[in-house]
Chains A and B, each alone.
Chain A
Amino acid sequence: MFNAIVSADTLRATLDSVSVLVDECKIHLTDEGIEIRAVDPANVGMVDLRLDAAAFESYETDGGIIGVNLSRLEEFAGMADAGQLIQLELDEETRKLHVQIDGLEGTLALIDPDSIRQEPDLPDLDLPATVVLEGKDIDRAVTAADMVSDHIALGVETDDEVFYVDAEGDTDDVHFELGRDDLIDLVAGDAHSLFSLDYLKDMNKAIPKDAEIEMELGEEFPVKMHFDIAEGDGTVTYMLAPRIQSD
């Protein structure tokens, strides 16, 4: 059983942060709220999302897992105006999700969860550096790097207490740095890793520009980025594996 009412904004933010990596996902329904974990087909980027029951106007479930085609559900959610409420109700008989927005009603066929790519184990990483910055700074870094390259290096200089971004193209390059004063917080530790911009661009699309992002970095290690959604009643963690630095 699953019957919930949620604001269109919250639902869209939730779905968008997963759909930048995968098309289909399993949604775990628990007493505390919903949980989604998914990894892209190449096992390079991962999302781990939790949306608490408190983020919903009303929330009832006796547990279970449903498989969802994200773009279809996003289309349904797109039919609502920003402030409108969306009711989601699982029809156990037909295995369809009943969606209601004001007078608009629809049903969405669910996907057999077993047919969806296995969820990954969350690597337990102890990363030496933590940077807390605004979403718009990540956007700026990604946009700048994208001008010249398809790769981006993220790092922290322990001595100078600086977070930096490097992108090297065939002919042009970009360097961007933020000191302790420009950052919300910094736990300095030596860190430098190279990432594919393809993935970071996708993740950046779902990162709210005004949100506080906690970024954890290491030496040739994955980057982790945490941020809140639904006014703190939900969290998203992205993890992205690095590229090997050839030179």
Chain B
Amino acid sequence: MEFAVFAERADEIESTSADLDIVSLVRDLFRVSAEDLDTVARFVQGRVVPAHESTTLDIGPSLCYEAIARAAGHNVSADDVESRVAAVGDVGDVAAEYDFGGQQGLGAFGDGGGSADLTVGEVESELRDLAAAAGSGSQDRKLDLLFGLFNRCEPAEARYLARIVLSEMRIGVGEGTVRDAITEAFDVPLRAVERALQVTNDYGLVATVARDDGESGLDDLRLEVGRPVQAMLAQAGTVTDAVDSWESVAVETKYDGARVQVHYDGDAVSLYSRNMEDVTDPLPEIVAFVEESLAVPAILDGEVVAVDDAGDPLPFQEVLRRFRRKHDVAKTKEEVEVQLWAFDCLHADGEDLLDTPLEDRHDRLTEILDSGVSALAVTDDADEVAEVEAEALDAGHEGIMLKDPDSTYSPGRRGKEWLKRKPDVETLDCVVTGAEWGEGRRAEFLGTFELSVGAGPDSFETIGKVATGITDEQLADLTDLLEPHVLAEDGKDVTIDPAVVFEVGYEEIQTSPTYSSGYALRFPRYLDVRDDKDPESADTLERVERLADGE
């Protein structure tokens, strides 16, 4: 396909506003794209390479302006182009203002005759050459290549070349448009196209397969080790949501790290970030770990966490330092230690597991990975969820993820199957009126604190117990703080004189016969001691009633 034809179609699409009309135009374009279909399917989205390739053009606006200036001819500078873009607002429109082609090619003087019209295939291959340029002098080489392309452009072509190069296509074509256009163009089911896109992450490939091999061809597309797919994402949600929606809940630690997709072909390991950027080189110890611990070729989903010398997790920013580090990896490696926690398995030993239930995928993960598997607890008991959360927080992690144990893995989807436990909706300042001595290594500490709210002068009514959100260190401090106020002990149960106020987070307030206030906090979590408050200024039953009514 000639690039001029592509530009003409793109222009038509750009001047159309109704979504359905745009889909029809893209469909028609796909039908006439012939051998350039895969490239066209990307160009309409302003992409040169498939999303799963780590290749980037790495062309900033200034390089593009420079190339336009050079092609534009006599005494046009990059500054001139830049100020036109500032005035006009779109690099494509500015590129289309100039009269390119002033520079002749040597080909025009040889025996081969004049240079032929630019084709979509040529633009693609030149831009790929450009992306491949690296090292010293590569900016000059990119400039030369880009100048060469602009020099061969008619104004309409220049408009879209400039936009493709800067990934600002702006013709109203999104991923959904391309998906629908493929479906319509080649008469294949939308579901098959969606699935094929999920496993390949390659619009060009899916369009070509849909055309050449139809629905069965699409169904045959599989995950491929070394070709990253989009990560499945989570919504914010509550334990209540999870318990109410599913028969049981799969609970796992939510790590404060960076998402990685691990690809192992039995020989080499590749690591990809959530944006499908190749992060293999910055993380050599994860590569070594996977080589050593993973038994078969596989694709895993996981989180890379930075840890301190004691093995405790460090904030997310520390991992980012490693991700961004291109040079001196060895030096940063010494500064920031990272480890992998794998929590899902998309592919194992030749078998795609996307349609396999989560619990079974996790079993498979445990079979093939020696260590570094994030534990998955499946339960229908909300208290057990709270326990897992307490452990996760205690170990210094961010919190918990709640997942439907029967759910499949849907790349790129932010569905209701995965929930990250939403931070507490509200907080209450409650008076501590009781506690229990702990067990095991916590035997010397008070834990499981009884919470109460004010119900009149010197009168308190219980509303719940809090045991989660407290580290060992904090337990020791709280025990020191509360022990002087102990009124009575009965076995492990302790009665405490109202004196200390806790700030407590919770998901919701329910009516409950269990506590004397008639209400209970669901999933209460210890946040802090309110040193500045005495029991009289803590929250009251009246407020609790108002909050409960409000919900």
Contacts and interface: CB of A to CB of B under 8 A. Distances in A.
Contacts of B115: 43
Interface string B91-111: 000000001011111111111
Contacts of A222: 106, 109
Band of interface residues on A: 35 or more
Nearest to B126: A41
B104 A71 contact: no
Interface string B200-235: 000000000000000000000000000000000000
A41 B141 contact: yes
A125 B103 contact: no
A61 B531 CA distance: 87
Contact of A241 (B75, B104, B144): B104
B148 A170 contact: no
A204 to B, nearest CB: 16
Contacts of A198: 70
Interface stretch (A85-93, A94-102, A116-124, A130-138): A116-124
Contacts of A41: 126, 129, 141, 144-145, 148
B106 A239 contact: yes
Contacts of A19: 137
B517 interface: no
Contacts of B107: 43, 120
Contact of A39 (B70, B106, B112): B106
Interface in A213-247: 221-222, 239, 241-244, 246
Residue from the set B106, B108, B145 with the largest chain A CB neighbour count within 10 Å: B106
B73 interface: yes
A150 interface: yes
Contact of B103 (A44, A71, A120): A44
Interface string B132-147: 0101111001001101
B74 A43 contact: no
Interface string A58-98: 00000000000101000000000000000000000000000
Contact of B109 (A40, A45, A125, A196): A125
B270 interface: no
A241 B73 contact: no
Residue from the set B103, B147, B148 with the largest chain A CB neighbour count within 10 Å: B103
Contacts of A120: 106-107, 110
B152 to A, nearest CB: 9
A23 B137 contact: yes
B74 to A, nearest CB: 6
B75 A170 contact: yes
B102 A246 contact: yes
Nearest to A245: B102
A165 interface: no
A43 B129 CA distance: 14
A242 B133 contact: no
A244 B100 CA distance: 10
A243 B104 contact: yes
B101 A40 contact: no
A18 to B, nearest CB: 13
A243 B106 contact: no
A123 B108 CA distance: 9
A19 B74 CA distance: 26
Nearest to B110: A123
A168 B74 CA distance: 9
A40 B144 contact: yes
B151 interface: yes
A55 to B, nearest CB: 26
Nearest to A115: B132
Nearest to A125: B109
A187 B482 CA distance: 107
A71 B135 contact: yes
Given A23-B141, A41-B141, A41-B148, A246 B73 contact: yes
Nearest to A198: B70
A241 to B, nearest CB: 5
Interface string B113-134: 0010000000000100100010
A243 B111 contact: no
Given A123-B109, A241-B105, A241-B106, A246 B74 contact: yes
Interface of B: 70, 73-75, 77, 99, 101-112, 115, 126, 129, 133, 135-138, 141, 144-145, 147-148, 151
Given A120-B110, A151-B75, A243-B104, 9 more contacts: A40-B144, A40-B148, A43-B106, A123-B106, A124-B110, A222-B109, A241-B105, A244-B102, A246-B99
29 contacts: A23-B137, A23-B141, A39-B106, A41-B141, A42-B103, A42-B145, A42-B147, A42-B148, A43-B107, A43-B148, A44-B148, A71-B136, A71-B137, A123-B109, A123-B110, A124-B111, A125-B109, A150-B74, A150-B75, A196-B70, A222-B109, A241-B103, A241-B104, A243-B73, A243-B102, A243-B103, A244-B102, A244-B103, A246-B74
- 6 A-B pairs with least C-beta separation: A42-B148, A123-B110, A43-B105, A41-B145, A123-B109, A41-B144
